[in-house]
Amino acid sequence: MTDTTPDAAFRDPDDLRRRAGIRGDPDRDQHFLVDDRVLDRIPTYLPEDADTTHLLEIGGGTGALTDRLLAVADAVTVIERDPDLAAFLREEFASEVDSDRLTVLEGDALSVDLPAFSACVSNLPYGISSEIAFRLLPEGRPLVLMFQREFGERMAAEPGTDNYGRLSVSAQHYAAVEVVEIVPPDAFDPAPAVESAVVRLTPRAPDYAVDDEAFFFDFVKALFTQRRKTIRNGIRNTAHISGLSEPEAVVEAVEAEDPDLLRKRAGSLAPETFARLAEIADEHGR
Ligand SMILES: C[S@@+](CC[C@H](N)C(=O)[O-])C[C@H]1O[C@@H](n2cnc3c(N)ncnc32)[C@H](O)[C@@H]1O
């Protein structure tokens, strides 16, 4: 009789760690997922219409997630910084490497050339969460990424909530962001100190336009450094961050267009309002 239990087809994460002979080192961002149910669910969070011809995985570890990705993808590229783990992945998945279904790139995911992937599914090294997310987001591909819970919730936060900030506006500029699962520390070995979150980032164009993206991000960053101040004071006090040479002219231009806006605070403004403010600032204050 065929065994239809979902785990039966996949390598056991404890066996993988034993074969690799490597205990995860938290100082090197090594927290291996050992809960099969979480591992089984992660690939299912890809958007339904996601192209799975070439999946990218950042931080392969001992390959428990890689194994699941190979089951849904035509090809997988895994980037792993630890040379021992990269060597183990090549050996453990030798037949997939030989048939070109798996490529193991040994190196730092922040500096290696990324392959042209169709989607990325990863249990990320938390030390590089922000940098790697903002390396991947401009690629415009679906991403399913495990972050520290607080980081994931800040990315997905809506205006007017405590978690809403620069990270929310910047990530949502590229994608619809959803926390799809909270994962407890004991799903990993060694267990991290905090809870984690699986986040789905589905690429889409923002519902506003900005001429100068770099200035938009600097301007948003500047206003959130003064999130408890009014927008009027925020614009005035942060010219050294936003790069504005005429902040007072920007305040006057906003006053003429929408004076109520100047009394609001950064935490309550929707991304499209930041975009409008940035356009006014760009026109009148740079
Ligand atoms: C949180 S573990 C996840 C491992 C595995 N995917 C799993 O779910 O069990 C992160 C992995 O990323 C690797 N890593 C850490 N920093 C890295 C970097 N800058 N670039 C590539 N890999 C990195 C670690 O060696 C570790 O194997």
Tokens 């390598």 found at: 11
Same domain, 180 and 235: no
The 3-state DSSP class for residue 263 equals helix
Instruction: Tell the residue nearest (CA) to atom 4 of ligand 1.
Output: 61
Q: What confidence score (pLDDT) does residue 188 get?
A: 98
Strand bridging mode 119-123 / 143-148: parallel
- Let me know whether 139 and 242 are in one domain: no
User: Domain total for the chain?
Assistant: 2
| Residues in binding site | 31, 33, 59, 80, 108, 123
Domain boundary among 203, 236, 253: 203
Q: For a substitution probing ligand 1, which of 14, 23, 27, 29 has the most ligand atoms within 8 Å of its CB?
A: 29
Atom of ligand 1 nearest to the CA of 29: 15
**Is residue 3's pLDDT more than 50?**
no
| 124-151 mean pLDDT | 97
Q: How many CB atoms lie under 10 A from the CB of residue 282?
A: 17
Q: Is residue 252 included in any domain, yes or no?
A: yes
* Percentage of the residues of the chain whose pLDDT score is greater than 70: 97
Token pair, residue 193, equals 């100190």
Report d(CA 126, CA 30) in Å as an integer: 9
61, 78 Cβ separation under 8 angstroms: no
CA 6 to chain centre: 28
232, part of any domain: yes
Confidence at residue 211, expressed as pLDDT on a 0 to 100 scale: 93
Nearest to 60 by CA among 35, 27, 24: 24
166 lies in the same domain as 97: yes
Tell which atom from ligand 1 comes closest to the C-alpha of 60.
6
Half-sphere exposure of 44 (CA within 13 A, CB side): 8
232: left (phi over 0), alpha (psi -120 to 50) or beta: alpha
Tokens of residue 76, six digits = 């997988």
Tell me how far the alpha carbon of residue 124 lies from the centroid of ligand 1, in angstroms. Answer: 6
Q: Whose CA is closest to atom 14 on ligand 1?
A: 59
> Model confidence over 169-224: pLDDT tens digits?
999 999 999 999 999 999 999 999 999 999 999 999 999 999 999 999 999 999 99
Question: Domain containing 32 — which CATH number?
Answer: 3.40.50.150
pLDDT tens-digit profile of 229-259?
999 999 999 999 999 999 999 999 999 999 9
CB atoms within 10 A of CB 277: 26
62 in the Ramachandran plot: left (φ > 0), alpha (ψ -120 to 50) or beta? alpha
Residue nearest atom 5 in ligand 1 by C-alpha distance: 61
* Arithmetic mean of pLDDT, 251-268: 96
Query: 233: domain range?
Result: 213-285
pTM, two decimals, is 0.94
Query: Within a domain: residue 2?
Result: no
The closest residue, in CA terms, to atom 9 on ligand 1 is 32
Distance (angstroms) between ligand 1 centre and the Cα of 269 equals 36
Same domain, 173 and 280: no
Distance CA 16, CA 68 (A): 13
Ligand 1 site residues, Cβ closer than 6 angstroms: 28-33, 58-61, 64-65, 79-82, 85, 108-110, 123, 125, 128
Based on the domain organization, do 25 and 125 belong to the same domain?
A: yes
3-state SS class at 146: strand
Specify the CATH number for the domain of residue 267: 1.10.8.100
Read off the pLDDT of residues 53-64 as tens digits, 9 standing for 90 and up: 999 999 999 999
The reply to whether 165 and 63 lie within a common domain is yes
pLDDT band at 9 (very low <50, low <70, confident <90, very high): confident
Q: Where are the beta strands (DSSP E) in the chain?
A: 32-33, 54-58, 75-80, 102-106, 119-123, 143-148, 175-183, 188-189, 196-203
Number of Cβ atoms within 10 Å of the Cβ of 64: 25
pLDDT reading at 5 higher than 70: no
pLDDT for 1 beyond 60? no
18 plus 103 within the same structural domain: yes
Say if 29 falls within a structural domain: yes
Residue type, 270: A
Please tell me the predicted confidence (pLDDT) of residue 286: 86
208 lies in some domain:
no
21 plus 140 within the same structural domain: yes
pLDDT in tens, 99-130: 999 999 999 999 999 999 999 999 999 999 99
End-of-domain residue from the set 203, 225, 257: 203
Domain-terminating residue out of 203, 237, 270: 203
Ligand 1 nearest atom to the CA of residue 127, by list position: 16
Cα–Cα dist 163/151, whole Å: 9
6 assigned to some structural domain: no
- Which residue type, as a one-letter code, is found at position 262? L
Binding-site residues for S-adenosyl-L-methionine, in ranges, read 31, 33, 59, 80, 108, 123
Residue 3 lies in a domain: no
Same domain, 42 and 164: yes
Is 8 domain-assigned? no
Say whether both 51 and 116 belong to one domain.
yes
Residues 97 and 199 in one domain: yes
The atom of ligand 1 lying closest to the CA of 112 is: 20
**C-alpha 58 – ligand 1 centre gap (Å):** 7
Are residue 197 and residue 243 in the same domain, yes or no? no
